[in-house]
Amino acid sequence: MHRFLVVNGPNLGHLGVRQPDIYGTRSMDDLPGILRGLLGERAETVKIEIFQANGEGEIIDRLERAREEGIDGLVLNAGAYTHTSLALADCLAWIGLPCVEVHLSNVLARTEEPLRQITLTGKHCLGVVAGFGLDSYALAVAALLRHMEQQ
């Protein structure tokens, strides 16, 4: 059984309600069903914990605890901190947990906000999944699972 932690940053506690034209209408409550649909029976080999915080320090504290708890991998949607937080990037660099960065929208297509095309955290991740709404999380979990199986 692999233990993965899904970490959501600021403003992501209202997925499904917040700007549905950009972020979709599904909430994190839909994630288990999406995972089962994508992973099939392999979904039973993964235990997912979901954490959300608006504060940068709270997110860093949770990531540090994940290391201490022996969490196997991270799915991280740091929200706006993706583009601005050196502290979060530094945390990812030292905790050494496999991580996949997630974005609900295609941040590269958001040319009206060039800052959203920059990721400070992405270089400390195995990869980045963006633009598939809540399915991005399921794709990230599948990538982490594949990574674990290849280790």
Q: Which among 81, 103, 124, 137 is annotated as catalytic?
A: 103
Structure-token pair, residue 62: 């949770």
Burial (CB count <10 Å: 0-12, 13-18, 19+), residue 6: buried
Out of 23, 81, 83, 137, the active site residue is: 23
> Active-site residue 81, yes or no?
no
- Say whether 103 is catalytic: yes
* Torsional sign, CA 78, 79, 83, 84: negative
Catalytic annotation, residues: 23, 103
